[in-house]
């Protein structure tokens, strides 16, 4: 029974299979026919479009710019496109921020640095269907040249910086094509903290941003941060130059560590070794001895501290000041604080757009300061902390949490984010700090704080070779190593003082950001050496 | 005066057997039941008398000094003394005030009073009180401009007078007076941020500062009178309509007809507040006679220089 049935079944199966196979074949044939038909149609279409694409020379990928031609074409900046330019025909070079095709229209958002505006390609007597399709297919971040009419819009375009106008594109050429896949999306990188989580959208973490710094730098926030940073440098230079300071350049490869021995980078220097400068301290002081009177210096500073915190970098830009004074080191404090206030004022008055832009992603309170700057003494600060219930010794250094708490207390009472703390205990300062004449426990040294974090540390320096030797001995420093430094004070040295500011820290704290890597273009820390 | 009197619950002549293992101490309540030690009382009386004489002497000398330095000063003492039997000798403030008892224990740091004021409305009373404070204490005064305030006139930057020559050493001062020109809707004082809320309103700050100079009158009626004059000055004289101001002027005139100063024989905060607000409301020209005389008397005290300087 089973034997008979089995072949019968197989036969049936075979029959069924062949039936199925037939059907399959039939279907495939149908499919192929359809495909062929479609291809033929497409080809015909293409042919026909190629034939009647009247706008063929109005779009495309232009040849690589190898400087063959020097066109007399004027490229307008995006930020200049206002209703005043309405109905003009202009040329523009910008990046494609986003594109969105919708039937016979294609909307593009064109971006130039922190400014963007909406552009539109629509099928009509100037643009063909193919042109719209081409525009829609331009990859994000590609650079395009666009000829377009500026038109005012009835309703404000909320998503763009130029809200009152849009562009009606006449011609569009791709100058540089971006790869279709970006390692991160600009929208995601520029999204305010917390907002992405609510909407279930992606956010980009700090490390990914830094790994793809070039793209991250294109975000409006980054653009604004580094424009403001440049402003800080500029204002620093301008203010000091006006005060009669001289800008100096100092070597960064030095033979001896200036501040303690441990945290310096050693580099091999032919047959011996050298160090990377922790601060231009010694050279600034030597310039004072060389009768330069008032000097400043903007340049890289290296710290080999293995600390991975939100405010430490291994290489940063130091803004250093050193000046001789007449009778009291407060002349130096006044000069430095005034410079800082000028910087804050300059930023407040000239960089309001940038500040607002950064605030959109990283909201913070506006920076507040007093003029003249508030100066408190160390004992006062200790008293304030005591009153707030902190237990600390009179000659103890301020710990970071105490610094922050003090910052809050000062802000509460005086409503300022910037203040000077004067008269630090001598024991916690470097050997070249001048002791206080009235109380040998204290010193003529000061720190400056922004939003409760230290940005500048300075002091009156010892300009007397003998006292300097004594102080160095007291700190158990090898006199042989700093002989050249001490010797420079033997031949008459004016009383002087100064301090050094970290540019990145100033920017970070002014904008109320939380990580110094945001204000360093290519940050260096113990774990990051690239890009 | 005892509020309740209770009859003794037990007989007062009860004899108790005290154990002998304890020390016997003299009764510490004995003095309260009876009188204060007469010797102490006499000593106190003597001291009071000496102090009184000293103040009179000081006031007399100051009065003399004024007649020498200011030409029309004789108006002050002569006219007002004819008004009342008591001579208003106290041009300086009475009472020994000690910052430690007033402001709590010394923490080894400067006691800094921070005042946030709007440059559109310079607080004249406080400027006056500041200059008086400077005569009494070593005051470190500093003027700052907050980043929220735009364009502060230069005379406001120097309104607390020239910088103290020792201002580089903050520890040498008893009191800090930090005036910050800031965009605030209402004048504000911050002193001890840990256990004091910010004090709002020029009148309240003035009361606080005045207490550093002399204690308020111990008589509650007079103290309330002073307070009510201060309120009148700031709410009706400085901010009120012309009609209200006229009413206040009449009230001032009546009060000054009865006594040399607003709150009686002693110069007080009431006078400072009313004078400054009167000056600010520019109704000095239409002042009735008693008020006019009082204005002259105020001016002769020499405290109001800083306020007049900033009236423009």
Q: What is the DSSP string of A77-96?
A: PGGG-SGGGTT-EEEEEEEE
Is A338 at the interface with chain B, CB within 8 A?
no
The one catalytic residue among A187, A305, A377, A395: A305
Integer angstrom CA distances of residue A297 from A259, A332, A342, A364: 18, 16, 18, 30
Nearest CA among A278, A245, A80 for reference residue A167: A80
Q: Does the annotation count A312 as an active-site position?
A: yes
Neighbours of A281 (CB within 10 A): 23
Residue in B142, B146, B147 closest to A348 by CB:
B147
Residues across chain A: 531
Is B150 at the interface with chain A, CB within 8 A?
no
- Residue A242 to chain B, least CA–CA distance (Å): 22
Question: Closest residue of A to B177, CA-based?
Answer: A414
Contact at CB, A371 and B108, closer than 8 angstroms: no
Ordered per-residue pLDDT tens for chain A, 531 residues? 444 444 544 555 555 566 777 777 888 888 877 877 777 766 665 555 555 678 888 899 998 899 988 888 999 998 888 899 889 999 999 999 999 988 889 999 999 988 889 999 999 888 888 899 999 999 999 999 999 999 999 999 988 888 999 999 999 999 999 999 888 888 888 888 766 666 777 778 888 888 889 999 999 899 999 999 999 999 999 999 999 999 999 999 988 766 554 588 989 999 988 989 888 888 899 999 999 999 999 999 998 888 888 888 999 999 999 999 999 999 999 999 999 999 999 999 999 989 998 998 999 999 999 988 999 999 889 988 988 888 888 888 999 999 999 999 999 999 999 999 999 999 999 889 999 998 899 999 999 999 999 999 999 999 999 999 999 999 888 888 788 888 889 999 999 999 999 999 999 999 999 999 999 999 999 999 988
Question: Closest residue of A to B190, CA-based?
Answer: A413
- The residues facing A94 across adjacent strands are A144
Contact at CB, A415 and B116, closer than 8 angstroms: yes
B199's enclosing H/E stretch is strand B199-200
Helices (H), A174-328: 186-189, 195-199, 206-211, 213-216, 220-242, 281-289
Residue in B142, B169, B193 closest to A412 by CB:
B193
Residue in B144, B168, B171 closest to A370 by CB:
B144
Distance CA B186, CA B239 (A): 13
B189's enclosing H/E stretch is strand B188-190
Contact at CB, A370 and B147, closer than 8 angstroms: yes
Chain B interface mutation, best of A413, A441, A497, highest count of B Cβ atoms under 10 Å: A413
Supply the DSSP symbol for A442.
B
Strand A445-450 versus strand A453-460 pairing type: antiparallel
- Residue B209 to chain A, least CA–CA distance (Å): 18
CB-CB contact of B140 with B170 (8 Å): yes
Q: Does the annotation count A457 as an active-site position?
A: yes
Q: Does the annotation count A505 as an active-site position?
A: yes
Is B144 at the interface with chain A, CB within 8 A?
yes
Contact at CB, A413 and B114, closer than 8 angstroms: yes
Residue in A370, A377, A387 closest to B170 by CB:
A377
Q: What are the φ/ψ torsions at residue A316 (nearest 5 degrees)?
A: -145, 175
Tokens linked to A320: 């250093």
Which residues in chain A are closer than 8 Å to B170, comparing Cβ atoms? 375-377, 380
Which residues in chain B are closer than 8 Å to A406, comparing Cβ atoms? none
Contact at CB, A371 and B193, closer than 8 angstroms: no
Q: Does the annotation count A305 as an active-site position?
A: yes
Tokens linked to A44: 């015909």
């Amino acid at each position: 029974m089973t034997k008979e049935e089995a072949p019968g079944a197989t036969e049936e199966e075979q029959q069924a299979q062949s039936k199925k196979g037939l059907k399959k074949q039939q279907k495939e044939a149908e499919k192929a026919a359809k495909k062929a038909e479609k291809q033929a149609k497409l080809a015909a279409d293409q042919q026909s479009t190629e034939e009647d694409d009247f706008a063929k020379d109005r779009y495309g990928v232009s040849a690589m710019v190898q400087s063959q031609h020097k066109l007399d074409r004027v490229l307008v900046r995006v930020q200049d496109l206002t209703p005043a330019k309405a109905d003009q025909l202009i040329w523009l070079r910008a990046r494609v921020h986003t594109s969105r095709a919708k039937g016979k229209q294609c909307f593009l958002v064109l971006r130039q640095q922190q400014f963007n505006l909406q552009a539109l390609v629509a099928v009509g007597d100037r643009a063909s269907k193919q042109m719209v399709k081409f525009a829609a297919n331009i990859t994000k971040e590609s650079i395009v040249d666009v000829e377009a009419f500026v038109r005012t819009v009835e309703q404000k375009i909320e998503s763009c910086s130029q809200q009152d106008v849009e562009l009606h594109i006449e011609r569009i050429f791709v100058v540089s094509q971006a790869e279709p896949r970006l390692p991160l999306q600009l929208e995601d990188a520029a999204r305010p903290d917390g907002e992405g989580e609510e909407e279930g959208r992606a956010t980009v973490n700090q490390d990914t941003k830094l790994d793809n710094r070039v793209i991250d730098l294109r975000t409006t926030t980054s653009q604004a941060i580094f424009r403001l940073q440049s402003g800080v440098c500029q204002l620093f230079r301008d203010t000091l130059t006006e005060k009669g300071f001289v800008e100096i350049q100092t070597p960064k490869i030095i033979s001896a560590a200036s501040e303690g021995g441990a945290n310096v980078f050693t580099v091999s220097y032919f047959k011996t070794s050298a160090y990377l400068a922790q601060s231009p301290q010694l050279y600034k002081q030597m310039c004072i001895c060389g009768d330069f009177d008032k000097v400043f210096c903007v340049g890289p500073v290296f710290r080999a501290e293995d600390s991975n915190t939100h405010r430490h970098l291994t290489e940063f830009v130091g803004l250093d000041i050193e000046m001789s004074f007449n009778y009291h080191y407060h002349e130096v404090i006044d000069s430095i604080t005034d410079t800082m206030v000028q910087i804050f004022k300059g930023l407040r008055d000239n960089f309001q757009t940038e500040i607002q832009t950064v605030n959109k992603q990283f909201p913070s309170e506006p920076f507040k300061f007093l003029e003249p700057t508030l100066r408190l003494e160390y004992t006062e600060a200790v008293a304030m902390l005591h009153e707030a219930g902190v237990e600390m010794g009179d000659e103890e250094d301020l710990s970071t949490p105490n610094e922050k708490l003090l910052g809050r207390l000062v802000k509460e009472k005086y409503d300022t984010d910037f203040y000077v703390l004067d008269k630090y205990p001598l024991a916690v300062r470097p050997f070249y700090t001048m002791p206080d004449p009235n109380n040998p426990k204290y010193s003529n040294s000061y720190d400056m704080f922004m939003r409760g974090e230290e940005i500048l540390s300075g002091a009156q320096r010892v300009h007397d070779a003998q006292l300097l030797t004594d102080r160095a001995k007291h700190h158990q420093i090898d006199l042989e190593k700093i002989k050249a430094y001490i010797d420079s004070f033997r031949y008459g040295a004016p009383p002087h003082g100064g301090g050094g500011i970290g540019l990145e820290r100033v920017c970070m704290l002014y904008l109320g950001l939380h990580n110094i890597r945001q204000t360093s273009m290519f940050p260096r820390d113990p774990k990051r050496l690239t890009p | 005066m005892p509020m309740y009197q209770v009859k003794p619950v037990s007989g007062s002549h009860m004899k108790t057997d005290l154990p002998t293992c304890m020390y016997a101490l003299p009764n510490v309540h004995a003095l309260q039941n009876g009188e204060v030690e007469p010797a102490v009382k006499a000593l106190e009386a003597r001291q009071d008398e000496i102090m009184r004489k000293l103040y009179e002497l000081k006031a007399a000398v100051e009065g003399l000094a004024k007649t020498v330095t200011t030409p029309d000063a004789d108006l002050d003492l002569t006219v007002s003394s004819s008004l009342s039997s008591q001579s208003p000798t106290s041009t300086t403030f009475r009472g020994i005030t000690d910052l430690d008892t007033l402001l709590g224990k010394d923490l080894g740091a400067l006691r800094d009073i921070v005042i946030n004021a709007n440059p559109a409305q310079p607080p004249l009373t406080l400027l006056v009180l500041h200059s008086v404070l400077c005569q009494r204490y070593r005051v470190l005064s500093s003027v700052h401009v907050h980043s929220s305030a735009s364009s502060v006139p230069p005379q406001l930057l120097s309104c607390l007078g020239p910088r103290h020559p020792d201002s580089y050493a903050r520890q040498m001062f008893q009191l800090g007076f930090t005036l910050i020109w800031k965009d605030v809707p209402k004048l504000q004082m911050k002193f001890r941020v840990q256990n004091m809320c910010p004090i709002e309103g020029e009148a309240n700050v003035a009361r606080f500062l005045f207490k550093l100079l002399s204690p308020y009158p111990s008589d509650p009626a007079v103290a309330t009178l002073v307070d009510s004059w201060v309120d009148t000055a700031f709410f009706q004289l400085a901010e009120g309509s012309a009609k209200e101001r006229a009413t206040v002027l009449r009230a001032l005139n009546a009060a000054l007809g009865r006594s040399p100063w607003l709150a009686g024989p002693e110069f007080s905060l009431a006078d400072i507040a009313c004078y400054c607000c009167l000056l600010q409301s520019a109704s000095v020209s239409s002042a009735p006679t008693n008020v006019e005389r009082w204005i002259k008397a105020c001016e002769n005290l020499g405290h109001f220089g800083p306020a007049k300087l900033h009236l423009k």
